């Protein structure tokens, strides 16, 4: 059993790049890529990922009435921190879009970082524009400066706020 992430021809390169990033990763705190390939439509692409039966952390917050208890927040935040420690320390990779929607809950109830579409090696000069979700962006990223490991830690802090309140930081809804 696995999940399929699909993209049409216009976004297929992003999924191919995401597969390349995931192929170099092996951590119990990161969603595993089990393959990928060309889709049925010309130029489309499909990425095959480990199935996470708990859905996203955002789904878990919604199932719990819009906020999680402190104990759950602590446990999920610790899992994401382990994923970031692995990415930043062992792989020199910045995730670039940490938020509750991009954290999945595995069959064991543990959080796993997913959606590596904005990931990049830190310190790399890339022609790609900086990605991510504006409400979770560190100030330096919003200013167009380098997106390093500190930006992922900032986004995790924003995710903790999201887990506690059910809303993205600085949102009006």
> What is the rounded distance in angstroms from the CA atom of residue 156 to the CA atom of residue 148?
13
Residues 123-149, buried b or exposed e (16+ Cβ, 10 A)? eeeeeeebebbeebbbeebeeeeebeb
Closest CA to 25 of 112, 101, 123, 124: 112
Q: Is 97 a catalytic residue?
A: yes
DSSP state of 34: E
Query: Choosing from 79, 90, 97, 152, which is the catalytic residue?
Result: 97
Active-site residues: which are they? 97
């Amino acid at each position: 059993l696995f999940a399929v992430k699909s993209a049409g021809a216009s976004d297929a390169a992003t999924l191919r790049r995401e597969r390349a990033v995931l192929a170099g990763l092996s951590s119990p705190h990161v969603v595993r890529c089990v393959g990928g390939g060309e889709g049925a439509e010309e130029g489309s692409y499909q990425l095959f990922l480990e199935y996470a039966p708990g859905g996203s952390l955002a789904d878990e917050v919604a199932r719990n009435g819009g906020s999680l208890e402190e104990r759950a927040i602590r446990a999920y935040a610790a899992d994401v921190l382990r994923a970031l420690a692995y990415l930043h320390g062992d792989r020199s990779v910045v995730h670039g879009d940490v938020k509750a929607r991009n954290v999945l809950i595995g069959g064991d109830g543990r959080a796993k970082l997913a959606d590596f579409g904005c990931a990049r090696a830190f310190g790399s000069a890339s022609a790609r524009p900086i990605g991510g979700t504006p409400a979770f962006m560190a100030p330096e990223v919003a200013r167009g400066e380098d997106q390093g490991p500190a930006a992922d830690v900032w986004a995790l802090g924003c995710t903790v706020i999201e887990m506690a309140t059910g809303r993205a930081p600085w949102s009006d809804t």
